[in-house]
């Protein structure tokens, strides 16, 4: 098939006999050869940093000299390059030059492209456009065959760019302007259709939606404000056996901004995440104990402490966790010691302190540092006890032997922290 200047193929009009493309390629080759000479000169003068490539030839390790350098006239996918990379780039351009490409002008948008006879024979409707064709493997033979046929069909058609994601089939300066306009209208029409469908989907309130958490203290988090009362879940489609699409109900959340009073870190929390839950095999933070999804990772929280937190929150008791004093240091005199809980009265005056004493407070436990750490733990516990006595502060120590919800509740009631 002969191609003549002025001939039209779909939206493309041939503007030359292929000489311009050859000139462009030769110019690129010359640029790379010039850059290679400059690169070699910098190597000789030790102006580049070594970052050699290591390989294996089947018998022993092979080290290829490479240098930290970013080429100007071709792309590489590593931080360092070899001398041979320049030669490979030049060789690739020679192969490209061997296929005759004609200068073509798109009659729809006026853009200039360089295409071979294989592309012209397809009589493209647009000078360049994307098309979805997934590269993911699938168990469906029908789908695999369809993907293979599509790739074969457009293998030699350079007016079509195959993309791996449906979301990438969107307007871009790279593509034909007329295709961009067409696709933009399609996307707007689809967006309007989706918006209408989503507007009709039933809404349901999330768990805890009707509870106002603003102003409460949740472990170390002060709930500062509700930043949204109408945060909606993403509509997720599902399909029946006939491939008919429908949507599940949309969940509406309240969203809160919380701040840890220990480290100052902000946390954005959806209302359904609040809650302290009893033991479950699916527990997030404690496999065999109480747990919660809402916490700050600036300090550890045991299942024991979650039980106390739950009781204090549910009974609206003002409290703080990891409570420390300016003049209370550990045995090393470096770090402040802290109490697990500080309980306050309605006037925000300190009422008492609570310590949740795990097994490591009574005997050496390997998980917590063994014998050496146990001695330090005993010394620090004595310092905290003495500090409470010296300052006339009531200190309640709850043993791990009483680590049951009902038992802890009973202890808190007996010590007048909770009301009967």
Q: Give me the CATH number covering residue 325.
A: 3.40.960
Domain membership of residue 336 (yes or no) is: yes
Q: Are 214 and 322 contained in the same domain?
A: no
Q: Are 306 and 390 contained in the same domain?
A: yes
Domain membership of residue 237 (yes or no) is: yes
Domain membership of residue 152 (yes or no) is: no
Domain membership of residue 361 (yes or no) is: yes
Domain membership of residue 49 (yes or no) is: no
Three-state DSSP state, 195: helix
* pLDDT at site 284: 47
Look at residues 399, 367, 395 and name the one whose alpha carbon lies nearest to residue 383: 395
* pLDDT at site 289: 82
Alpha carbons 95 and 116: distance in angstroms, whole number? 13
Domains: count for the chain? 2
CA-angle at 230, arms to 229 and 233, nearest 5° = 130
* pLDDT at site 58: 76
* pTM of full prediction above 0.85: no
Look at residues 2, 24, 6 and name the one whose alpha carbon lies nearest to residue 15: 6
- Answer left, alpha or beta for residue 118, where phi above 0 means left and psi between -120 and 50 means alpha: alpha
H-assigned helices in 255-362: 303-314
pLDDT digits (tens), the chain, 420 positions: 688 999 999 999 999 999 999 999 999 999 999 999 999 999 999 999 999 888 887 778 888 899 999 999 999 988 999 999 999 999 999 999 999 999 999 999 999 999 999 999 999 999 999 999 988 888 888 889 999 999 999 999 999 999 999 999 999 999 999 999 999 999 999 999 989 988 999 999 999 999 999 999 999 999 999 999 999 999 888 888 777 888 889 999 999 999 999 999 999 999 999 999 987 655 444 456 898 999 999 999 999 999 999 999 999 999 999 999 999 998 888 889 999 999 999 888 999 999 999 888 888 778 777 787 888 888 999 999 999 999 999 999 999 999 899 999 999 999 999 998
Q: Are 379 and 310 contained in the same domain?
A: yes
Q: Are 346 and 416 contained in the same domain?
A: yes
Q: Are 308 and 387 contained in the same domain?
A: yes
Domain that holds residue 357: 299-420
Q: Are 250 and 332 contained in the same domain?
A: no
Domain membership of residue 191 (yes or no) is: no
Domain membership of residue 285 (yes or no) is: no
């Amino acid at each position: 098939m002969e191609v003549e200047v002025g001939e039209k193929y779909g939206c493309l009009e041939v503007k030359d006999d292929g000489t311009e493309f050859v000139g462009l390629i030769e110019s690129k080759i010359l640029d790379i050869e010039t850059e290679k000479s400059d690169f070699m000169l910098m190597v000789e003068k030790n102006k580049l940093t070594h970052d050699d490539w290591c390989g294996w030839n089947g018998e022993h390790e092979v080290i290829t000299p490479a240098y930290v350098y970013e080429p100007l006239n071709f792309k590489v996918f590593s931080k360092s390059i070899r001398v041979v990379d320049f030669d490979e780039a030049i060789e690739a351009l020679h192969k490209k030059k061997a296929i005759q490409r004609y200068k073509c002008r798109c009659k729809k948008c006026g853009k200039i492209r360089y295409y071979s006879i294989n592309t012209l024979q397809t009589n493209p409707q647009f000078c360049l456009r994307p098309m979805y064709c997934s590269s993911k493997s699938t168990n469906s033979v029908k789908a695999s065959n369809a993907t293979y046929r599509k790739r074969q069909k457009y293998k030699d058609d350079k007016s079509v760019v195959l993309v791996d994601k449906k979301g990438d089939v969107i307007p871009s300066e790279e593509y034909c302007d007329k295709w961009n306009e067409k696709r933009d209208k399609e996307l707007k029409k689809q967006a309007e259709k989706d918006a209408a469908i989503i507007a009709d989907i039933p809404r349901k309130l999330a768990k805890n939606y009707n509870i106002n958490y603003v102003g409460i203290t949740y472990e170390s988090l002060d709930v500062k404000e509700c930043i949204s009362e109408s945060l909606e879940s993403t509509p997720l489609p599902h399909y029946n056996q006939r491939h008919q699409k429908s949507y599940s109900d949309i969940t509406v959340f309240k969203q809160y901004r919380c701040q840890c009073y220990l480290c100052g870190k902000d946390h954005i929390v959806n209302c359904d995440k609040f809650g302290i839950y009893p033991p479950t095999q699916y527990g997030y933070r404690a496999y065999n104990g109480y747990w919660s999804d809402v916490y700050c990772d600036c300090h550890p929280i045991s299942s024991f402490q979650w039980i106390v937190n739950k009781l204090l929150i549910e009974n609206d008791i003002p409290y703080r966790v990891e409570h420390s004093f300016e003049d209370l240091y550990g045995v090393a005199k470096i770090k402040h010691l802290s109490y697990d809980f500080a309980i306050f009265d309605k006037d925000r005056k300190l009422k008492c302190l609570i310590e949740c004493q795990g097994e490591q407070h009574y005997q050496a436990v390997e998980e917590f540092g063994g014998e050496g750490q146990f001695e330090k733990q005993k010394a620090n516990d004595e310092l905290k006890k003495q500090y409470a006595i010296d300052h006339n502060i009531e200190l309640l120590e709850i043993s791990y032997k009483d680590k049951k919800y009902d038992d802890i509740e009973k202890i808190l009631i007996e010590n007048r922290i909770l009301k009967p």
